[in-house]
Chains A and B, each alone.
Chain A
Amino acid sequence: MAGGHIDALGQFELHPVLGSLGESLRFSQSTLMMVIAAALILLLLYVGMRPRAIVPGRLQAAAEILYDFIHTMATDQIGPEGRRFFPFVFTLFAFILVGNYIGLVPGSFTFTSHIVVTAGLALLVFVVGLLVALRSQGFGFFAHFMPEGAPVALAPLLVPIEILSYISRPISLSVRLFANMMAGHVMFEMFAAFTIMLGGIHFIGPVLGIAPIAINMALVALELLVGGLQAYVFAILTCIYLREAVAH
């Protein structure tokens, strides 16, 4: 902030944790947040389900709702084979959702705002979808690149387009999540910086500085929505890709 410019991107810089140990292990605060996210997910399920109550308490109800939500999504979207992929979809959804929400805690880090992370997840979905498709459909899978009923003469045009759209899936999947999370956090930084800038304007500054704070509060609500929505979109697109993969 020194010199009046806004460092909106500095928040995405990676720093090693635990000093030289983290540096040699390439263990950054982003990775630490992944560990915390995974731990929170497991904690919710293990601690939440410990009572094994017939009438669930709040934490158990939260764990059950999360389970049911993804289970319904997987079986509805993928079909009867959805049960097989349910743990995979659940892991993706919970990991991204908790990652998005951890980022909203001041002083923490949003690992889903890094394209490397989202690209890794999207590539995983792509590879899993491809392997499942090859396993359940064999080489007949490649017939999908030629739309049914289209004239053969158009094949030289249609097939490359279909292949391109198939390959672009992981790109859109990863960029969508990464860009949404990054944009939200850039906005937080901008409005927080406005508050500091306005606060310096003589005696009226502290009054003017309230406005960006109010906007930031509204943005937190928006980001809660975006964080849930992006996790949902990622999970449901994964389900749709897997449905295409298992369809005969």
Chain B
Amino acid sequence: MSRMIRIAVLGSAATVAAGESAFAAGMPQLAFGNPLTLGQLFWGAVIFLVLYLALSRSALPLVGAVLDERRARIDGDLDAAKSARNEADRAIIELRRARRDAAAEAASMVDKVVSEARAQAASRTAEMNARLEADIARAEIAVTEAREAAMGSIRAVAGGTTQLLVARLIGQEADEALVGAKVDAALAARPAA
């Protein structure tokens, strides 16, 4: 597209200019009669050489140094970040392990406390049972004693009462041995309490 425009323009320019002999003078670029034309070559060589020396000796190494510095800095930062991440990973693993250990320790401690409490409760219960059994045994002995005491006095009361009743009924004292025998017989006939 641009090339077509160029060709068209140059073509029309040539036709326009042909009559006016604008090109007849030739291109100034080829005017080697002009000392300035070849002067460009000399000055161009000098300027190019100076530019090349300035660039290769000073300017380009300066840019290169800055770029190397940045690369080194970025690499260093990357390494630091990588090591920091590794450290963090290690810390996390350690933390997890510590937490797991702590959880296990706590569980075992709870187990211990529970079993201790259970054992204590069991021993206390056993102690209480023993005391209660002892109390019951004592109480039974006391009851038995009281009953025996009461049973012993029944005979005397019954004998006294019988003597009294017989004396009121018949007006004379009953034979003590006979009353005793009768009371014993009556007591024996009583159903066991």
Contact = CB atoms under 8 A, between A and B. Distances in A.
Contact of B59 (A45, A113, A222): A45
Interface in B32-64: 34-45, 47-48, 50-52, 54-56, 59-60, 62-64
B154 interface: no
Contacts of B5: 187
Nearest to B7: A183
Interface string A160-203: 00000000000000000010001100110011000000000000
B37 A45 contact: no
The secondary-structure label for the interface of chain A is helix
A63 B17 contact: no
Nearest to B43: A31
Interface string B7-21: 001100100110110
29 contacts: A6-B17, A8-B17, A14-B28, A26-B35, A26-B36, A26-B39, A27-B39, A28-B40, A31-B44, A34-B44, A34-B47, A34-B48, A45-B62, A49-B62, A49-B66, A64-B63, A67-B64, A67-B67, A87-B52, A91-B48, A114-B29, A115-B30, A116-B41, A117-B40, A120-B40, A120-B45, A183-B10, A187-B6, A222-B2
B27 interface: yes
Contacts of B135: none
A120 B46 CA distance: 12
A12 interface: yes
A117 B28 CA distance: 13
Lowest 4 A-B CB distances belong to which pairs? Answer: A26-B39, A5-B20, A87-B56, A14-B36
A225 to B, nearest CB: 9
A28 B48 CA distance: 16
B69 A52 contact: yes
Contacts of A91: 48, 51-52, 55-56
Contact of B29 (A10, A12, A28): A12
Interface size class of A (residues with CB under 8 A): 35 or more
B22 interface: yes
B97 interface: no
Contacts of B52: 87-88, 91
B73 interface: yes
Contacts of B192: none
B25 interface: yes
B118 interface: no
Nearest to B18: A5
A41 B36 contact: no
A8 B43 contact: no
A42 B28 contact: no
B38 A186 contact: no
B43 to A, nearest CB: 4
A9 B5 CA distance: 18
A13 interface: yes
B17 A42 contact: no
Nearest to B37: A116
Given A38-B50, A68-B67, A116-B38, A54 B73 contact: yes
Nearest to B60: A87
Contacts of B99: none
A228 interface: no
Nearest to A14: B36
Contact of A14 (B20, B37, B51): B37
Contacts of A88: 52, 56
B111 to A, nearest CB: 59
Interface in A47-68: 49, 52, 54, 60, 63-64, 67-68
Contact of B70 (A46, A54, A115): A54
Contact of A114 (B19, B37, B48, B69): B37
From B27, B56, B63, name the one whose CB has the most chain A CB atoms within 10 angstroms. B63
A95 interface: yes
Given A26-B36, A187-B9, A87 B55 contact: yes
